[in-house]
Amino acid sequence: MAAKPPRVKYACDECGYESPRWLGRCPSCGSWNSMREVQAAPVSPRGGLAPGRRSAAGQPAPEPVRLSQVDPTDDARFPTGVGEFDRVLGGGLVPGSVVLVGGDPGVGKSTLLLQAGDHFARAHGDVLYVSAEESLRQVALRARRLGLDDTPLRLIAETDVDAAVDAALHVRPKLMIVDSIQAVSTADADSVPGSLVQVRECAARLIRLAKLEGIAVLMVGHVTKQGSLAGPKVLEHAVDAVLYLEGERDTQFRVMRAVKNRFGSTDEIGIFEMGDAGLRDVANPSALFLQERAAGEPGTVVVAGVEGSRSLLVEVQALVGPAPFGGTPRRQVSGVDYQRAAIVLAVLERRCGMPLHTHDVYINAVGGVRLDEPAADLAVALAVASAFRDRPVDAGTVVFGEVGLTGEVRGVRQAERRAREAAKLGFRRCILPRSNVPPGAAAADIQFFGVSTVVDALRAVEAGSA
């Protein structure tokens, strides 16, 4: 195999002008025959390649391998110790990977990363936390609140990304946390911190550092409600994983989901509870979500949902009231898919004879989770019908199923898992698509009511409430 020719370039003796090709006359100073061959110097991660790492000079061409020679389980992973965070990451952080954690200001990103950084430092080795938004004192105050005064985490308050990279090259941590990418900048880019140019350039330097030195990098990115122009969106293609931390300000729940993950599934969600001592994992969210449930009231139904590897029981609420005469009826939907809810309302109108076009309809999934899966359709239908008729659904009933345009109830995936979770939490009746009724139904501690249409489902509800 032929060796790759060393990388050379030419420089003018007179003025120092550089060119990748030899030139008879220097285009800069005009002197003749002044170009000399020089070796291209390896550059540092600040601007290019790390010294001695992959400088092209003298290195053989890379040897391709067959896929069968690659061990896909080879990835070492370092759990952060925050269970729900690890679940979304796909088991932990991979060395050299770059993860962007996005979210609204105040949602708890710094809190989460300080907690994760502390666990990581105790379990795996050095962690460098670069605080670009807050002073060391502010971070120390948060650490005290979290009970982490004695954390082995190493901290710098720095807004210059190049200085932060130098600090990382000096400390050589296993994990570097940059809080936030919008607050750091480089003097090499002629633009204000937080601008598109700066965010991109700073991220590029951190990504280069991660890949060359094998340091895992966690970057915080703020999302603004009014279009995230210079926000993390522009980085999504460049990083390995993009996780969003979401939650309503006035509820204590925080939900983390992955919109991109090169090392794991994007189906998994992480659920946290924000308390006085930071974020806590919520390993069994169903019980929590249902604890304040207004059982026995009209307009509430519990759906057995599935998010990633976890089943999730969520209360769907509906409120239906007459619309003002002559006005457009209001439709407000949160926590479930708007388009799907619109179809369900049309089905109730046309197949079940409910004049919803003269009514305002509000639909909400409680707890701050988003139920995007079609399996939530039937719960929406039964909650709206219950609110419309002002008749409660039996509190021990759980439902799931997809609703089609003709009012048919279609089967969904993982029916047994959903039913099992519901039975565990004390539900005794399950209204589900007929095609999903498990064969051994009679023996289970939950009674199954297989239905083929929404009309069937409404009848099954009536039978249970009677």
Give the separation between CA 336 and CA 370, rounded to whole angstroms. 6
Q: At 382, list the tokens.
A: 């039964």
Helical axes 377-389 vs 454-465, angle rounded to 10° = 60
Main-chain phi, psi angles of 193, to 5 degrees: -55, 145
111 binds, among ligand TYD, Mg ion, none (CB under 5 to 8 A by kind): ligand TYD
103 binds, among Mg ion, ligand TYD, none (CB under 5 to 8 A by kind): ligand TYD
Residue nearest to Mg ion (CB): 110
Q: At 287, list the tokens.
A: 């019980």
Give the separation between CA 168 and CA 46, rounded to whole angstroms. 11
Q: CB nearer to Mg ion: give 181 or 363.
A: 181
Q: CB nearer to Mg ion: give 183 or 316.
A: 183
Is there a contact between 132 and 184 (Cβ–Cβ < 8 Å)?
A: yes
Q: CB nearer to Mg ion: give 109 or 359.
A: 109
401 binds, among ligand TYD, Mg ion, none (CB under 5 to 8 A by kind): none
Least distance between Mg ion and beta carbon 133 (Å): 6
Least distance between Mg ion and beta carbon 184 (Å): 13
Of residues 381 through 410, those in contact with Mg ion by CB under 5 A are none
Q: CB nearer to ligand TYD: give 145 or 154.
A: 145
Give kind and range of the element (H or E) at residue 342. Answer: helix 338-351
Q: CB nearer to Mg ion: give 110 or 453.
A: 110
Is there a contact between 362 and 392 (Cβ–Cβ < 8 Å)?
A: no
117 binds, among Mg ion, ligand TYD, none (CB under 5 to 8 A by kind): none
Taking contact as CB under 5 A, which single stretch among the options 110-118, 189-197, 293-301, 314-322 is the one that binds Mg ion?
110-118
Q: Does 110 bind Mg ion (CB under 5 A)?
A: yes
Residue 378: count of CB within 10 angstroms of its CB: 27
Q: Give which of 125, 189, 138, 141 is closest to 161, Cα–Cα.
A: 189
277 binds, among ligand TYD, Mg ion, none (CB under 5 to 8 A by kind): ligand TYD
Which residues of the shown chain bind ligand TYD in the complex (CB under 6 A)?
103, 105-111, 142, 145-146, 274, 276-278
Give the separation between CA 26 and CA 40, rounded to whole angstroms. 19
276 binds, among Mg ion, ligand TYD, none (CB under 5 to 8 A by kind): ligand TYD
DSSP for 77-106 reads -B--S-HHHHHHHTSSBPTT-EEEEEE-TT
Q: At 176, list the tokens.
A: 């570097």
Q: CB nearer to Mg ion: give 183 or 398.
A: 183
Q: Does 115 bind Mg ion (CB under 5 A)?
A: no
Q: Which residues bind Mg ion (CB under 5 A)?
A: 110
